[in-house]
Structure 1
Amino acid sequence: MDTGIFTANNAWMMICTALVFFMHLGFSLLEIGLTRQKNTINILFKNIFIVCTGILLYYMAGFNLMYPGDFNGFFGFSGFGLSLPENGLTPDYASGGYTYWTDFLFQAMFAATAATIVSGAVAERVKLGGFMVFTIIYVGLVYPIVGSWQWGGGFLATLGNEVNAAGELVKEGGFHDFAGSTLVHSVGGWAALIAIYLLGPRIGKFEDGKAKAIPGHNIPIATAGVLILWLGWFGFNGGSVLSADPATTSLVLVTTSLAAAAGGMAAVTFSTLRYKNFDLTMMLNGILAGLVGITAGADLMSPLEAITIGAISGVIVVLGVSLMDKLKLDDPVGAVPVHLICGIFGTLAVGVLGAKAGLDQFLYQLAGVGSIAFACVLPTYLIIGAIKKTLGFRVSAQEEMEGLDIHEHKMDAYSDFRTNEN
Structure 2
Amino acid sequence: MVEMKQFTALSTGVDTIWIVLTAAMIILMEGGFALLEAGFVRRKNSVSIIMKVFVDIAFGTLCFYAIGFALMYGKDWSSFIGTSGFGMKGDLSHLAFPFSKETFFMFQAAFVIAVISIVSGAVAERMQFRAYVLYAVVMTTVIYPISGHWVWGGGWLGKMGMLDFAGSAVIHAMGGFSALAAAQILGPRLDKYREGENNVITPSNIPLASVGAFLLWFGWFGFNAGSTLSASDVRIGHIAMVTMLAASAGGAITLLYTMFRYGRADAPSVINGSLAGLVGITAGCAFVSADAAILIGAVCGLGMMAATYMMDVWKIDDPVGAFPVHGVSGVIGTLAVGLFARGKGVLYGGGWQLFGVQTLGLLVICVWGYVCTWIALKAIARIVSLRVTEEEERIGLDISAHGAMAVNTEDTLTLGSEYKKRV
Common topology (TM > 0.5):
yes
By percentage of residues, which structure has more helix? 2
Distance 1:195 1:327 in 2: 15
User: Which of 349, 361, 373 lines up with 2:336 in the alignment?
Assistant: 349
Alignment of 1:136-175 (within 5 A): 136-159=137-160, 174-175=161-162
Quick one: which of 325, 336, 339 aligns to 2:323?
336
SS of match in other structure, 2:270: helix
Deviations 1:185-231 (A, max 9, x none): 11211110001111110011113322121111111110000000000
Report what 1:294 is aligned to.
281
Q: Does structure 2 retain, via aligned residues, the 8 Å contact 1:272–1:279?
A: yes
User: Which residue number corresponds to residue 162 of structure 1?
Assistant: none
Cα distance in 1, alignment partners of residues 92 and 288 from structure 2: 37
Residue 86 (structure 1) shift: 9.3
Rounded to whole Å, the distance in 2 between the matches of 1:371 and 1:28 is 30
Matches within 5 A, 1:262-411: 262-355=249-342, 356-358=344-346, 359-411=352-404
Instruction: Give the aligned partner of residue 26 of structure 2.
Output: 20
Cα gap change, 1:306/1:86 in structure 2, threshold over 3 Å: closer, same or farther?
closer
Residues 250-292 of structure 1: per-residue CA shift (max 9 Å, x gap): 1111110110001100111112222222101111000100000
More divergent stretch after superposition (126-135 vs 205-214): 205-214
Correspondence for 1:260: 247
Q: Which amino acid aligns with 2:176?
A: G
CA contact (8 A) 2:55 2:136 kept: no
Asked if the contact 2:81/2:146 (under 8 Å) is kept, the reply is: yes
Contact 1:93 1:99 (8 Å CA) reproduced: no
Give yes or no for contact 1:194–1:381 (8 Å, CA) kept in 2: yes
Aligned to 2:127: 126
Distance 1:32 1:75 in 2: 36
The TM-score normalised by the length of structure 1 is 0.92
Instruction: Name the residue aligned to 1:39.
Output: 45
SS at match of 2:326: helix
Q: Distance in 2 between matches of 1:391 and 1:264?
A: 40
Structure 1 residue ranges, 4+ long, deviating more than 3 angstroms after superposition = 84-88, 417-420
Tell me the percent identity. Answer: 39
Residue 207 of structure 1: which of 180, 184, 194 is its match? 194
Cross-structure match for 2:207: 220
Task: Name the Cα RMSD after superposition.
Answer: 1.7
> SS of the residue aligned with 2:216?
helix
Tell me the CA shift for residue 245 of structure 1. 2.7
8 Å Cα contact 1:84-1:100 kept in structure 2:
no
Contiguous gaps of at least 5 residues in structure 1: 160-173
Looking at structure 1, the residues matched to 381 and 25 of structure 2 have their Cα atoms a distance apart, in angstroms, of 36
Q: In structure 2, do the counterparts of structure 1 residues 122 and 86 end up closer, same or farther at CA, with 3 Å as the change threshold?
A: closer
Aligned to 1:50: 56
Q: Matched residues in 1 for 2:85 and 2:101: separation?
A: 16
| 1:169 paired residue number | none
Deviations 1:8-61 (CA, angstroms, capped at 9, x unpaired): 111111110110010000000000000011111111111001100111111101
Deviations along 1:115-138, one digit per CA (max 9) or x if unpaired, are 111100110011111111111011
Q: Which runs of 5+ in 2 are unaligned?
A: 1-6, 347-351, 416-423
**What code does the residue aligned with 1:10 have?**
T
Q: Distance in 1 between matches of 2:314 and 2:250?
A: 24
Q: TM-score, normalised by structure 2?
A: 0.92
8 Å contact from structure 1 (residues 22, 232) kept in 2: yes
